[in-house]
Amino acid sequence: MPSYTQEGSSYERDMAYIPDRITKEPGRSQDKYDDGELDVRTWPAEPGRYRLVAARACPWANRSIIVRHLLGLEDVISLGLAGPVHDERSWTFDLDPGGRDPVLGYERLQEAYFARFPDYEKGITVPAVVDVASKSVVTNDFPQITHDLFFEWRDHHRPDAPDLWPDDCREEMEEVMQRVFTEVNNGVYRCGFAGSQEAYDEAYDRLWTALDWLEERLTDRRYLMGDRITEADIRLFTTLARFDAVYHGHFKCNRNKLTEMPALWGYARDLFQTPGFGDTIDFDQVKRHYYVVHEDINPTGIVPRGPERESWYSPHLREKLGPPR
């Protein structure tokens, strides 16, 4: 496996993804925060045309699985699931009979990337949206995928789909999501893949500063933006769901466990018990992915047995902070 760290360095995530968008109108977004014509290739939002390839093990892909379910897009965009363990080449479809995706016919997600870019040299990542007819990748830009599932596929949402990007708190939500991404979603990786003690110490301090801020924010509000679930909650949840199982030990984020932070732990359980969240989490796959794939960090490949799942179903008592909307 390739190394995730460089000696003495801090971890930096490569955010250069395939920038194509799937939009309702050619070349234009339905989100008023997108200014004018888009400067990337756009594909039409056509039901049945695309397959979302994700993995339950991956927090970035887990977002798209949750959003697809909450919006009721299951019959509009099909879902393919890669297994939790992969090599340096690609995620694989080893969970499917015969080890092939039943729609695309591929053994490896890499094949969809090569179908469009024969010389593709970057990492093969999930989530990825694949054009079924050509069996070629459209985009792997994970934050844009969930954004466009909301804004560009609205004509196909279920009638009671939640407003994941509410106008009345949009500016603040963007700020919250940016801090969550930089300091928490990516912060745990910055700890785990730090290439020196100095880099780790800095990453550790940044992570816990952000988690303490979230603990305080969620003490008197049910969700990040108040009394309704938004995209911001989905983005935070996928990291919290993996915290005690992986990040606390494997990534050395061990000041304390999530279960020892009353507001964050209650909030995480509240979301976990909400349809579309906890039922997308497979802790066995999550642990196998991190502890087996990250050979640099865990050379023995031993996968820990705990923690148990039952505590996620314990009462969270957060209803008093506001009803879900």
Return the structure tokens found at 119. Answer: 């010389």
Among this protein's residues, is 189 annotated catalytic? yes
Instruction: Say if residue 19's pLDDT is above 80.
Output: yes
SS3 203: helix
Of the chain, the percentage scoring pLDDT greater than 90 comes to 91
Q: Is this structure's pTM higher than 0.85? A: yes
Residue type, 91: W
Catalytic residue among 50, 113, 189, 291: 189
| pLDDT at residue 324 tops 70 | no
C-alpha distances in angstroms, 256 versus 46, 248, 269?
46, 8, 17
- What is the tens place of the pLDDT at every residue in 169-201? 999 999 999 999 999 999 999 999 999 999 999
* 34: exposed, middle or buried (Cβ count in 10 Å: 0-12, 13-18, 19+): middle
- Tell me the C-alpha distance between 261 and 255, whole Å: 11
Residue 239's closest CA among 286, 292, 299?
Answer: 286
Place of tokens 């008197």: 220
Amino acid at 103: V
pLDDT over threshold 60, residue 150: yes
- Selecting among 50, 58, 204, 223, the annotated active-site residue is 58
Q: Mean pLDDT throughout 102-131?
A: 97
Confidence grade of residue 5 (pLDDT, cut at 50, 70, 90): very low
The mean of the pLDDT values for the chain is 95
Question: Residue 53 CB: number of other CB atoms within 10 A?
Answer: 28
Q: Is 11 a catalytic residue?
A: no
The string of DSSP letters for 24-91 reads SBTTB-S-TTS-SB-SS-EEE--TTSEEEEE-TT-HHHHHHHHHHHHTT-TTTSEEEE--S---SS--
Q: Prior bond to 102 cis, omega within 30?
A: no
DSSP string, 129-178: EEETTTTEEEE--HHHHHHHHHHTSGGGS-TT---SS-GGGHHHHHHHHH
Q: Give the three-class secondary structure for 4.
A: coil
